Amino acid sequence: MFEDRSKKDRTELAELGEFGLIDHLTKDIIPRVPSTIKGIGDDAAVISGGDELVLVTTDQLNEGVHFDLGYTPLKHLGYKSAVVNFSDIYAMNGRPEQLVIGLSVSNRFSVEALSTFYDGLRLACDQYGVDLVGGDTTSSASGMFISITVIGRVIKEDVVYRSGAGENDLLCVSGDLGGAYMGLLLLEREKQVYKANPAMQPDLEGNDYVLERFLKPEARRDIIQRLKEAGIRPTSMIDISDGLASEVLHICRNSNVGAVIYEDKLPVDVETAALCSDFKIHPATAALNGGEDYELLFTIGLHDFEKIKSVAGVTVIGHITGEAGLAHMVTPDNKLITITAQGWNHYRNEEA
C-alpha cells in the first residue's frame, strides 16, 4: 500500500492495441452459466430469454477520444451514442428494445447541456422504438464519458453470428462507405482553421451528407427488414464501426475463411469521393480504414444472388474463399492487395 509502482514488467497498452488488449484480457474466459449462449467475441452477447434470445451490447464514447465537443452538438452526440449500440443489435439480425446509460460528466457541464444530450438520446430511442430503462449519472474529475448498454431480442432461428460465413458465400455491404471519416476530416480541418483565426467562418457548405454521416449516423434497421422481406438470412454479419478492412478480417477469423473484395465494387458516395480528392486520400482507403459508417457487412449463400439484386441499398463487393484468415482486394488493374486491419489504436493516437 502506498508504495511506488515499479516500472518493471510494464507492457504499454499501445503495444497490444485495442483488439490485442481485449484478446489478452478475455482469452481464457469460458461461459459457465446455463443462460449464456454466446459470450465475448461478436457484436453482442447472446443469452436465453424464453422463445427468443436476448442480446446485450455495450459501447463507450469518451470526450477527447471518440468525440470533440468543439464541433459535436450535444443532441447529435446523444443520438449517435444510442445508434451505434442499436447497430450492434441489428448486426446480430435482432431488434434493440431497451437501453441503459452510464453518464459521467464534470461540473463544467450544466443541467441544460445534459438535457440537450438526453434529448438526442431519447430522439434515437423514439426513432428506433427503444425504451430508456435505467442508468447511472455521476461525476467525473474532468470530461464527459458515455457508456451505453442496449438489450435486444431475436427469434432463435434468426440470430446471425460473425462465424457463419462459408466458402463461395457472397460478401455484401449496405449503403456507402468512407463518408463518416471524410466528415470527421472536414470538421478537424475547419477546427484548425478556426483555432488559427477565430474570425474565419468554417467552410462546410455542400458537405451536408458527410457531416451527417459522421455526426448523426443511422443504424440499418431498414436493411434488416428488407433482407427478411426478400427471404434472405445472412450467413454471417457485423456492423462497420472500425472500417471495412477490420470487419472483413473479423468475419474471416471468426468463420475460419478468407475473402476477396473488388475495389471497383466498393460503394462510395459522390460527395465522399469529391472530398477524398480534396484531401488527396484514395476513396478505397477511406472505405477500408475510415470507420464509423455503421453500415452492415454480411455474407449470403450463392443461391441468394438473384434475391439480393432486388434489395435496395446493398452492394455485393466480393466473396468468401477457403484461405482461412486471409483477405485480399483486387484493384481495377487486377493487382492483389492483402487487407490488414487498421482499426483504431487509440493508445497509439494518444502519443501523437
- The CA–CA distances, whole Å, from 211 to 4, 34, 129, 257 equal 47, 45, 25, 35
Which 3 state secondary structure label does DSSP give 83? helix
Report the C-alpha gap between 240 and 253 in whole angstroms.
Answer: 16
Report the C-alpha gap between 231 and 158 in whole angstroms.
Answer: 11
Residue from 67, 77, 151, 319 in contact with a second copy (CB under 8 A): 151
The residue assigned the cell 438470412 is 233
Of the two residues 18 and 323, which places its CB atom closer to a second copy in the complex? Answer: 18
Stretch that binds a second copy, among 41-49, 230-238, 323-331, 334-342 (CB under 8 A): 41-49
Of the two residues 118 and 298, which places its CB atom closer to a second copy in the complex? Answer: 118
Residue from 112, 205, 264, 333 in contact with a second copy (CB under 8 A): 112
- Residues 256-295 interacting with a second copy (rule: CB under 8 A): none
Of the two residues 62 and 321, which places its CB atom closer to a second copy in the complex? Answer: 62
- Residues 295-334 interacting with a second copy (rule: CB under 8 A): none
Of the two residues 85 and 236, which places its CB atom closer to a second copy in the complex? Answer: 85
How many alpha carbons lie under 13 Å from residue 327 in its C-beta half-sphere?
25
Of the two residues 97 and 222, which places its CB atom closer to a second copy in the complex? Answer: 97
- Residues 153-182 interacting with a second copy (rule: CB under 8 A): 153
Question: 325 is written with which cell numbers?
Answer: 484468415
- Residues 199-228 interacting with a second copy (rule: CB under 8 A): 202, 204
Residue from 101, 170, 219, 329 in contact with a second copy (CB under 8 A): 101
**Cβ proximity of 138 and 106 under 8 Å:** no
Of the two residues 236 and 345, which places its CB atom closer to a second copy in the complex? Answer: 345
Q: What are the phi and psi torsion angles at 96 (to 5°)? A: -70, 140
Cα 116 from chain centroid (whole Å): 24
- Residues 126-145 interacting with a second copy (rule: CB under 8 A): 129-143, 145
Report the C-alpha gap between 188 and 71 in whole angstroms.
Answer: 8
Q: How far is the CB of 160 from a second copy (least distance, A)?
A: 17
